[in-house]
Amino acid sequence: MTLRDSFGRQITDLRISVTDRCNFRCVYCRSADPENYRGHDEILSWPELDRLARIFLGLGIRKIRVTGGEPLVRDGVEEFISRLHALGFPDLSMTTNGHLLAERSNRLLAAGLGRINISLDSLDPAKFERITRTQSFSKVMYGIDAVQNSRLAPAKLNAVLVRGLNDNEVEAFAQFARDRGVIMRFIEFMPLDADRHWSRDLVVPAAEVHDRIHKRWPLVQVPHERSETARKYRFADGAPGEIGLIASVTQPFCGFCSRIRVTADGKLRTCLFSKEDHDLRFLLRDGASDDDLVAYIRSVVNEKEEGHRINEPGFVPPSRTMVFIGG
């Protein structure tokens, strides 16, 4: 069985958020002010998540990414990953801020995790602290080391670039990729921050990042799957490491989008920028059969938006910010 939307795009990729809580407060994501987390009973239980995962696998989802909030702050995430592995998802990954990674990497490996993305927005500990509002720089570095010394290597590191904040580090990140043999991915800042500080001026276009790195170390494009968000490059001089550019704002890839999301409170979202989300939790708790859920998911996916409208006049960001969607 496959999931297809009304534009003929096949949906094969699910991001499933297991918590809206996080131990960081990245400036481009959360607010410095306290936010209201959902109550524990509003968050899908592990059995509810297991059931959804099984249904989505049956619907042709091949890539599943466990995310949050910060997935490692929820107890039981390794066991969940192990059950996803047993279900047989061909591509099983997680996105984490890396704070708890060094101490948990062995359990994640044993659970069958196939790939991992780690957020790293600065190589300067003081700036890292300004961005994440934590002092976890060295813990994240240990987490990266743990991944580099495991079968999950090379680590994929994600940096969200914000003009005037960390865009002066592009070359340093590229140097880091070369020195450590990691995949360094640059993500354009999207209007999903809690403080609503996003503006077009703060976006560092992927083309600029490419040109700056290419000037210093010529880059060669590496083929990518059509549905992949990142354009990938290796270094022409044969140095290890890879560069990934995710131009969500300046060169949207919506035409090839194969992705849907389930939020920690059980809402199905067909786009990061969807105006509304769709209540799977209600159905799960209201005695819906698997067939009911399949029919509902199909009908929601059929309505998937053609694309986001960030670049259109009158664009209004969604009310849910990134930490409450699951990136």
Instruction: Please report whether residue 111 would count as binding ligand SF4 according to CB under 6 A.
Output: no
69 binds ligand SF4 (CB under 6 A): yes
Please list the residues that pair with 185 across neighbouring strands: 158, 244
Closer CB to ligand SAM, residue 75 or residue 291? Answer: 75
Is position 301 an interface residue for ligand SAM (rule: CB under 6 A)?
no
Q: Is residue 166 a contact residue for ligand SAM (CB under 6 A)?
A: no
Listed ranges 136-144, 186-194, 208-216, 223-231: which one lies at the site for ligand SAM (CB under 6 A): 186-194
Whole-number Å distance between alpha carbons of 220 and 37: 44
Stretch that binds ligand SF4, among 26-34, 77-85, 234-242, 290-298 (CB under 6 A): 26-34
- Cα–Cα distance, 12 to 31 (Å, whole number): 32
> From the CB of 288, what's the least distance to ligand SAM, in Å?
28
Subset of 18-77 contacting ligand SAM (CB under 6 A): 22, 28-29, 67-68, 70
Is the CB of residue 306 less than 8 Å from the CB of residue 288? no
Which of 16, 18, 21, 47 lies closest to 34, judged by CA?
21
Helices (H), 170-279: 170-180, 206-216
AA letter at 188: E
Binding flag, residue 264, ligand SF4 (CB under 6 A): no
Burial grade of 218 (CB within 10 A; 0-12, 13-18, 19 or more)? exposed
**DSSP designation for 183:** E
Judged by CB under 6 A, does residue 323 bind ligand SF4? Answer: yes
- Interior/surface letters 232-270, b for 16+ CB within 10 angstroms, e for the rest: bbbbeeeeebbbbbbbbbbebbbeebbbbbbbbbbbbbb
Q: How far is the CB of 249 from ligand SAM (least distance, A)?
A: 9
For the bound state, the minimum distance from the C-beta of residue 251 to ligand SAM, rounded and expressed in Å, comes to 15
Looking at 52-60, 143-151, 187-195, 206-214, which segment touches ligand SAM (CB under 6 A)? 187-195
Query: What residues make contact with ligand SF4 under the rule CB under 6 A?
Result: 22, 24-26, 29-30, 68-70, 97, 119, 322-323
Query: What residues make contact with ligand SAM under the rule CB under 6 A?
Result: 22, 28-29, 67-68, 70, 95-97, 119, 158, 160, 187, 189-190, 192-193, 322-323, 327
